[in-house]
Structure 1
Amino acid sequence: MPSFEEIEDAQRATWAMCSTGWAKWDQVISDQLGPVGDAIIDSLDIRDDQQHLDIASGSGEPGLSVAQLAPAGRVVLTDLAPEMLDIAQQRADRQGITNIRTKVCSADDLPFDDATFDSVSVRFGYMFFPDMAKATSEFARVLKPGGRVCSSVWIRPEANPWTTIPMQAIAAETALPPPDPDGPSMYRCAAAGSVSALYEAAGLCDVTDWEVDVVLTTDSAEQYWEVVSEHVSSAVVALEQVDRPTRERIRAGVIAGVRAHEEGGKVRVPGVARCIVGTKPG
């Protein structure tokens, strides 16, 4: 079994590989995940002077949106992959957002003092943390008393055809290793209550969760293939292992599979996330 350090090294390499796709399809991804970012922000009661920490920021959301709501505050964007944070900084520069800074670090070893932040956001990072309990303890440690942490995870695969369609097409053409139920994977936190239990074990209170619907919208089935094959980490990694003929068969399978979601000249593939919020006593 790989060590946590080896897992993080592999994740860092994967997200570096995916960063080009995240930059290329920024608007498509932002439109899909925007409702989740909005739900996270709404739960955090952002003030004008908010001190906010965004974990696993990737290309910068919801941290950049928090920064716009807190012009007198400060937002720190963190991620394992500097390539992803470079994209976040570029997006901030284009939007004229100056009250942010980026920091490459692991979620379970945060380089910040106790009680530094009013709020913490974790959009789709939890399921990839090697040690979720330790990371949650770190979020609680750096929160000020009364501060809130809100995260999001994906629920069961069958509720998220936007990602299961390409993965099923890949599995039809090449053997995929079964995910370690205790190791990082996209649906590791799908079970209801799994993240809530981590919050409560870390001493957070008033824990609640709710589901948020999302839709991945593309101009065509062909564009859908391009989007998912270039930014969905599990697909990107799997496709790196196959030859060109196999990739072409997978592409054909994905395009055929997504035709059922064509509507009004667009392809609209649904998904469902779960948001979880908790408060540090005090």
Structure 2
Amino acid sequence: MAAQDAPMGFGAEGMWDTLAGAWDDRGEWHATVTRELTEAMLESLDPQPHDTVIEVACGPTADIASAVARRPGFTGTIRAGDLSAPMVQAAERRALRNNLDITFLQLDVTELPLKSGSVDRLAARWIYMLLPDPLQGLSEAARVLRPTGSLVFAVFASAAENPFFMVPGAVLAEHGLLRPPVPGQPSMFALADVNGTHQLVRDAGFTSSSVRNVPLTYRLADPDDLWSLVSHFAGPISLAVRSQDEHTRDELRGEIERRAEQFRDGTGYALPGLARIFTASF
């Protein structure tokens, strides 16, 4: 039983390509879980009718770009992209099924294939905290935005405020299968410190930033649904679980279910989380 090399495993090569199918399968569920966050980000983004808008790290659903595309009267340009080609392909299929006018591209948030000063609104959900150098990603966002533009990005609050991840994460860490996050290294909670993240935003070239909290509830139908989330959807946790033998997986499942009992909701679970939305402008 070897631990993932990267803190919480987020540096695993090709992780999101490997998990893209599971993320696509649970796309509508995840969109429901994060609907309040999407709506709050859209409100903060405040796209105007003729704006150029891009969502980076869009995953298989491109929720922000899709919400902009559905806005009555919006006639601007919408792009969405992700580093993972399978994620981009899944998002493009979903947009086509829903008749949404979005241009998709594979991209790296630290080196965006966009001209300087060419974007009015940029949205990013849960990506900058996973970068080895978040400042590089934020600076790249500042580069492509117009002087009147704005960046809206979401991160997670502290581990203690996100049991949906830490219930299984703590179990795997105790079994030596995941390393706890190291301060200053990529992790789910690397940008949980509000003041530190405001400073990063300023260092990237933005002159003002604000933050708001958005509670999340990860609703799961039953123990099988909980295990499906853990073993197929939960990033480095899923990779670590998949690499174990059947006996170890059964052991992990039993302990995770015991820890999740405190969040029972009828036959299922309601695991809480807390996201933060930062809005940055010049």
- The alpha-carbon deviation at position 11 of structure 1 amounts to 5.0
- The alpha-carbon deviation at position 222 of structure 1 amounts to 2.2
For 1:96 and 1:89, the matched residues in 2 are separated by: 10
For 1:177 and 1:266, the matched residues in 2 are separated by: 29
Q: Which structure 1 segments of 5+ residues have no match?
A: 1-6
Q: Does 1:101 align with 2:95?
A: no
Aligned twin of 1:18: 19
Aligned twin of 1:4: none
For 1:71 and 1:92, the matched residues in 2 are separated by: 16
Q: Deviations over 1:252-271 (max 9, x none)?
A: 11122212212244421110
Aligned twin of 2:5: none
Aligned twin of 2:93: 90
- Structure 1 residue corresponding to 2:198, chosen from 180, 196, 216: 196
For 1:180 and 1:79, the matched residues in 2 are separated by: 26
Q: Deviations over 1:236-279 (max 9, x none)?
A: 12113321110111111112221221224442111001110011
- Aligned-pair Cα RMSD in Å: 1.8
Q: Deviations over 1:144-185 (max 9, x none)?
A: 111110111111111111111111222233342343322211
Aligned twin of 1:117: 119
The amino acid across from 1:184 in the alignment is P
Aligned twin of 2:4: none
For 1:214 and 1:252, the matched residues in 2 are separated by: 25
Any conservation in 2 of the 1:221–1:258 contact (CA below 8 Å)? no
Q: Deviations over 1:33-69 (max 9, x none)?
A: 2211111110111122221111111121222212222
Counting matched residue pairs gives 272
- The alpha-carbon deviation at position 130 of structure 1 amounts to 2.3
- Structure 2 residue corresponding to 1:251, chosen from 253, 261, 265: 253
**2:208 counterpart SS class:** strand
For 1:75 and 1:232, the matched residues in 2 are separated by: 28
Aligned twin of 2:69: 67
The amino acid across from 2:19 in the alignment is C
Q: Which moved more, 1:142-151 or 1:263-272?
A: 263-272
Q: Which moved more, 1:113-122 or 1:199-208?
A: 199-208
What TM-score, normalized by structure 1, do the two folds share? 0.90
Any conservation in 2 of the 1:49–1:74 contact (CA below 8 Å)? yes
- The alpha-carbon deviation at position 107 of structure 1 amounts to 0.8
Q: Does 1:223 align with 2:191?
A: no
Q: Which structure 2 segments of 5+ residues have no match?
A: 1-8
For 2:50 and 2:268, the matched residues in 1 are separated by: 41
**2:194 counterpart SS class:** coil
Q: Percent identity?
A: 24
Matches within 5 A, 1:148-187: 148-187=150-189
- The alpha-carbon deviation at position 110 of structure 1 amounts to 0.9
Any conservation in 2 of the 1:58–1:85 contact (CA below 8 Å)? yes
For 2:46 and 2:173, the matched residues in 1 are separated by: 43
Aligned twin of 1:56: 57
